[in-house]
Structure 1
């Protein structure tokens, strides 16, 4: 297909499987009277108990959102437009939720027009993070709500908003509940070593669904040459904090793993500026991020790395999203800070 793809997307015979948050397929049609998209869903749609995890997507027509829906069947055809007069249009299909919940695919573009890919933007950014980056619960009305893809929206995350403000193409590599030494745990005595970012960063995602090839997203090697970012924003540590707490020993272990992960990121992205941020859902590990970056920079001589430590979200003023996550107000505020930081360090 003559299209532009962004994010973690795999062509595996049946279609283009959109794996990551904000995975996007964009194209322009000329002389078209109709555009219909044939979509596929993974097996979440077959299990009524998995209703909270249905694939959610948006379609933008000439920049305007014309579809925001969740897939409820294995195969669905969505009409973007269908009329008597031919027209030219820009169309973007965007996956709004993360890979751990589900996968979806574009199988076919049904149009009588000519298709061409959308142009590349002047900047490229990768965002590596957890639920905050995914936009988990951003549309939730209060902290009392729990997770559903109906309120997870990557387009309203600070990552997507930052990329839009900077006119950048973005890849979002993010997994809710994941950390560097421990994923989220509600019992600090029990370290969660199952939900770590490192095993999946070099893969196309995290999901058990088997594609036509028999492979899972987490078994498919990532081709880093396909997207070499100018900037990488690393927002990890929030889930580690649930295990580290105030323990100095655990904090040092986190800093060691953080510095080690920076080496992995740099190996695959030799020319990128790296911005490390943390704090919007807890500032307890902020000093350890700074320590990790200082140690990494001294050891490697890498000076293309920056730190932006954040204050914790102001829920009394701005409210919460689902499960105490940042809502739209907080995500916009965070996007402003990250955007300003990238602009500042780009000028230096």
Structure 2
């Protein structure tokens, strides 16, 4: 046996020349992550809608290892910019998914979390490239950075349910085709989607409101705090008040009672609540442009007072870099479908291009 050759192979970690499989651990700097992701010693924890893992590599085969909390999360798997499959993760321990038969040369692989944190977390453990391949440097940073604070519309809730039943279960949700993701891709921007279906600023369909969630790393843990220094957006988009507009009219709802007691919030209370949240976000991001949008569900239908509440709240802040923009009521039942999400994106993109000069 040629021991010198053996020692050399061992010393050159996972060397292609030695014909070894290339293992890339979750904390490898050549892996690019997007979104609020908690890092452990051996895994990255993905929970928020739109969180992604991506890598550049050369090789004819690549694998990745995942474990899901409940088996309810879905991912879009993109190879060289194209979706090649919609994948449901399992809760049966750590599983390995493999993509074979690739052409020689460089490739880009992206795992995009379609579903939001309510359906659980996914642990990502890393990639393996078949022998003869190699990892390549991470892609250059995107041109812009965006963060969204929103509800089901921003998450792409029920976007792929074409039956009219407005089903929001995991198979029909896809944050990849939400207006949030579409707008980010249009502008070559990173985006963080700090959103949750059913959430409001004053009241939600569950015991958590955006002012209590916006600063969390793990949305399910009140003491898990996000480090805002890790990501500073150029643009913040707030699309909230749709759920407030419904629940503020339902005095028998348990969450109405918990937040308001027996008396509906006054216009002054509503305006102050919105203004307070926007001021909080401004405190975190002093230099960002902030666009307060609303739409495209019935909070913006003709005669709705909610755009007016937002306008008065923003006017009271006196900040030239905080804007309002109201997206027209889509006038169809249920949540926005793929076509309606694209229309929202087109509308927002035009506004941003005009006002931010992107």
Q: Bin the TM-score by the shorter chain.
A: 0.7 to 0.9
Q: Is it true that 1:267 corresponds to 2:276 in the alignment? A: no
1:336 counterpart residue number: 346
> 2: CA distance between counterparts of 1:222 and 1:164?
24
1:87 counterpart residue number: 105
How far is 1:101 from its partner?
1.6
How far is 1:86 from its partner?
4.1
Say if 1:97 and 1:134, in contact at 8 Å, map to a contact too.
Answer: yes
Q: How does 1:158-237 map to 2 (within 5 A)?
A: 158-184=179-205, 194-207=207-220, 216=221, 218-237=222-241
> 2: CA distance between counterparts of 1:149 and 1:227?
28
How far is 1:67 from its partner?
2.2
> 1: CA distance between counterparts of 2:353 and 2:82?
27
Say if 1:255 and 1:291, in contact at 8 Å, map to a contact too.
Answer: yes
Q: Where has structure 1 moved over 4 Å in runs of 4 or more?
A: 246-249
Q: Is it true that 1:21 corresponds to 2:49 in the alignment? A: yes
2:162 counterpart residue number: 141
How far is 1:331 from its partner?
0.5
> 2: CA distance between counterparts of 1:101 and 1:160?
19
> 1: CA distance between counterparts of 2:136 and 2:33?
14
Quote the RMSD (CA, aligned, Å): 2.0
Which digits, 9 at most, give the CA deviation of each residue in 1:3-38, with x for residues without a partner?
1111111112341111211101112113x2321000
How far is 1:138 from its partner?
0.3
Structure with higher Rg: it is 2
> 2: CA distance between counterparts of 1:174 and 1:114?
33
How far is 1:339 from its partner?
0.4
2:114 counterpart residue number: 96
Which digits, 9 at most, give the CA deviation of each residue in 1:66-121, with x for residues without a partner?
121111233221113356x6431111111111112211121121114124222211
Say if 2:166 and 2:335, in contact at 8 Å, map to a contact too.
Answer: no
Match for residue 78 of structure 1 among 97, 118, 129 = 97
1:51 counterpart residue number: none
Q: Which shows bigger deviation, 254-263 or 230-239?
A: 254-263
1:105 counterpart residue number: 123
2:266 counterpart residue number: 250
| Corresponding residue SS for 2:323 | strand
Which digits, 9 at most, give the CA deviation of each residue in 1:140-164, with x for residues without a partner?
1144243211000001100001111
How far is 1:219 from its partner?
3.2
> 2: CA distance between counterparts of 1:201 and 1:269?
13
**Structure 2 residues without counterparts, runs of 5 or longer:** 1-27, 251-262
1:310 counterpart residue number: 327
Q: Is it true that 1:117 corresponds to 2:135 in the alignment? A: no
Which digits, 9 at most, give the CA deviation of each residue in 1:140-191, with x for residues without a partner?
114424321100000110000111111111111101101011113xxxxxxx
Say if 2:143 and 2:187, in contact at 8 Å, map to a contact too.
Answer: no
* TM-score (normalised: structure 2): 0.82
CA spacing shift, 1:245–1:290, aligned 2, 3 Å = farther
**Structure 1 residues without counterparts, runs of 5 or longer:** 46-53, 185-191, 208-215
Say if 2:218 and 2:225, in contact at 8 Å, map to a contact too.
Answer: no
* TM-score (normalised: structure 1): 0.84
